[in-house]
């Protein structure tokens, strides 16, 4: 079996519950608690110590996924957090070594399988139905949406697969967005400029129409990873659910909504159905006036937006004894969701332009999965000298929100930042190996990308992108050979030892 082919165990995963059953086979990957927990800040406060990692304020750590079985105020609901907050766990759920995840995702893009629709009778996500027309319908009392911190603008759904169709072409897109519960049947939806679903919303709004949308929560993790691809790998009109199909080797199953003209993920734990209302905005923190939204991936709490679009909820459906899935914004869960598809996108673009030059790519946790990439360069001869910097330029093209690119040689482990910094220490000179690309649009949630931080920045969201070339010039490689040790079978001395 190829080491980029998914294992047979991962092929058994088709929804959230089968993913959990797979994790139970491994020590230290999954835990549950029966201790009652408050979803308002307490739940995230617990997991911050257990397994959040990422850019969460220290102390934190990499740890198991965790299910809270008793949520205060919500009978029969469980909450799962941290499912993807470990690269090793993602690798187990997708069935490949963690070093090969980018290669697997790249292959899945090229072998995508379009989703299919099944009947409502077959769809477990509609085992229980709550319509907004029902007496007493209130999404705030129905679903235990957590708040990450006491200063959040409100309860947020952070792991909802938002799915809608272009009102003109019928092409679909799935994305994860910041969703704040604003009332008994209203959810605000924050769009970073340029997102495809926002393009669909704008088209509908310009025609004076609402945009039907579904939010599927608690799904096969292959869907969550696939949903995080961005242009140019997945251009407008590319349905990222097809990537999940490629990852699993079978189509994602969808079902028609019970209250809106949109489709949802049939094996989801929970589905929220609604419509993005045209020409209607709310202040994101209208109930708290805190000026804060929720913790975001750079490690800071995002500013509440003054005017965000609103989803009018028409129905909530769910499985019996449902599991609501959530994440902490700055945790490694976000790093893996954003970073692994970014690695695949960079690897694909560079391989097409410069075959064989880049062996692997890593978007590490301190770089949030979006801002930093490390490229492992294989200089095969003097003709490759200089091409490593071309690869860095291609990386910026493959993912527009990338801020820093580190280039290292093939003998450096891109997944070990100690090794990367060692290369920067011994194979890099700041005046010769730093390439600045100023005045480039990046991502608005980086607080340093602002005129108040640097007078070189014209407007918020513009940055100076930087290449750190930590590779040895090809004609000097003989002077930079690492010490070579004897290859030995350590298990002779320590039975069961695994390198």
192 vs 425, higher pLDDT? 425
4 — pLDDT class (breaks 50, 70, 90): low
How far apart are alpha carbons 443 and 69 in whole angstroms?
37
pTM of the full predicted structure? 0.94
CA-angle at 220, arms to 323 and 177, nearest 5° = 75
Phi-psi region of 28 (alpha: psi -120 to 50; beta: other; left: phi over 0): left
pLDDT for 332 equals 97
How confident is the model over 267-274, as a mean pLDDT?
Answer: 98
Asked if residue 1 has pLDDT above 50, the reply is: no
Phi/psi at 346 (5° precision): -65, -45
**Residue 228 structure tokens:** 């995080």
Q: How many CB atoms lie within 10 A of CB 329?
A: 28
Convert the pLDDT of each residue in 220-263 to its tens digit: 999 999 999 999 999 998 999 999 999 999 999 999 999 999 99
Determine the Cα–Cα distance for residues 462 and 31; give it in Å rounded to an integer. Answer: 42
- Average confidence score pLDDT of the chain: 96
What distances in angstroms separate CA 462 from CA 196, 368, 455, one per listed residue? 21, 18, 11
Please tell me the predicted confidence (pLDDT) of residue 220: 98
Percent of the chain with pLDDT over 70: 98
Alpha helices in 111-220 (DSSP H): 139-142, 196-206
pLDDT value, residue 192: 86
Give the distance from CA 134 to its chain's centroid: 35
Element holding 318 (H helix, E strand): strand 308-318
The DSSP 8-state label assigned to residue 6 in this structure reads: P
pLDDT band at 7 (very low <50, low <70, confident <90, very high): low
Say what the pLDDT of residue 287 is.
Answer: 97
Res. 482: pLDDT tops 90: yes
Which residue in the list 224, 296, 333, 343 is annotated as catalytic?
A: 296
Q: What is the three-class DSSP state of 240? A: coil
CB-side neighbour CA atoms (13 Å) of 88:
11
pLDDT value of residue 104: 97
Mean pLDDT of 327-351: 96
Element (H, E) at 408: strand 404-409
Other CB atoms within 10 Å distance of the CB of residue 223: 26
Encoding tokens for residue 28? Answer: 């230290």
Local structure of residue 216 (DSSP, 8 states): E
From 92, 37, 94, 30, select the one nearest 63 (Cα to Cα): 30
Please say if the pLDDT value at position 420 is more than 70.
yes
- Residue pair 350/357 in contact by the 8 Å Cβ criterion: yes
pLDDT band, residue 2 (cuts 50/70/90): very low
Average pLDDT over every residue of 467-472: 98
Task: Give the bridge partners for 160, in sequence order.
Answer: 217
CB 212 within 8 A of CB 260: yes
- Flag whether pLDDT at 427 surpasses 70: yes
Catalytic-residue membership of 168: no
Measured CA distances, 225 to 104, 111, 158, 228, 435 (Å): 12, 16, 14, 6, 32
Ranking 13-17, 158-162, 213-217, 493-497 by mean pLDDT, the lowest is 493-497
């Amino acid at each position: 079996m190829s080491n980029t082919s998914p294992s047979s165990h991962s092929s058994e995963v088709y929804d959230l519950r089968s993913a959990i059953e797979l994790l139970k086979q491994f020590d230290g990957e999954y835990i549950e608690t029966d201790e009652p927990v408050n979803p308002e800040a307490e739940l995230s406060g617990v997991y911050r110590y257990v397994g959040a990692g990422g850019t969460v304020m220290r102390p934190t750590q990499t740890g198991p996924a965790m299910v809270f079985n008793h949520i205060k105020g919500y009978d029969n609901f469980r909450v799962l957090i941290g499912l993807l907050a470990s690269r090793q766990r993602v690798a187990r759920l997708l069935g490949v070594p963690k070093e090969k995840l980018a290669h697997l995702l790249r292959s899945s893009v090229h072998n995508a399988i379009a989703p299919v629709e099944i009947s409502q009778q077959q769809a477990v996500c509609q085992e229980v139905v709550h319509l907004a027309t029902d007496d007493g319908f209130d999404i705030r009392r129905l679903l235990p949406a957590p708040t990450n911190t006491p200063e959040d603008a409100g309860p947020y759904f952070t792991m909802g697969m938002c799915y809608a169709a272009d009102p003109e072409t019928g092409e679909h897109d799935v994305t994860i967005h910041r969703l704040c519960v604003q009332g008994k049947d209203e959810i605000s939806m924050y769009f970073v400029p340029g997102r495809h679903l926002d393009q669909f919303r704008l088209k509908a709004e310009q025609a004076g129409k609402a945009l039907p949308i579904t939010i599927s929560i608690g799904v096969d993790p292959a869907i969550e990873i696939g949903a995080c691809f961005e242009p140019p790998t997945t251009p407008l009109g590319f349905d990222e659910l097809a990537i999940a199909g490629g990852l699993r080797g079978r189509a994602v199953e969808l079902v028609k909504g019970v209250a809106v003209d949109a489709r949802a993920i049939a094996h989801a734990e929970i589905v929220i159905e609604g419509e993005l209302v045209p020409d209607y905005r709310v202040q994101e923190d209208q109930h708290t006036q805190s000026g804060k939204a929720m913790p975001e991936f750079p490690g800071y709490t995002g500013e509440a937006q003054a005017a965000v679009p609103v989803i009018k909820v028409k129905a909530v459906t769910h499985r019996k004894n449902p599991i609501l899935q959530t994440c902490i914004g700055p945790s490694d869960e976000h790093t893996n969701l954003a970073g692994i598809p970014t690695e695949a996108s960079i690897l694909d673009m560079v391989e097409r332009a410069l075959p064989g030059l880049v062996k692997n790519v890593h978007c590490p946790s301190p770089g949030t999965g979006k801002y930093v990439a490390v490229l492992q360069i294989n200089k095969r001869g003097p003709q490759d000298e200089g091409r490593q910097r071309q690869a860095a330029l291609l990386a910026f093209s493959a993912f527009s929100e990338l801020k820093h690119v580190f280039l290292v040689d093939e003998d450096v482990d891109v997944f070990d930042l100690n090794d990367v910094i060692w290369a920067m220490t011994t194979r890099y000179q700041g005046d010769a190996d730093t390439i600045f690309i100023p005045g480039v649009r990046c991502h608005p949630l980086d607080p340093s990308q602002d005129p108040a931080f640097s007078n070189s920045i014209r407007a918020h969201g513009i940055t100076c992108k930087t290449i750190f070339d930590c590779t040895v010039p090809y004609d000097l490689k003989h002077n930079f050979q690492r010490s070579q040790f004897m290859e030995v079978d350590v298990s002779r001395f320590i039975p069961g030892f695994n390198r």
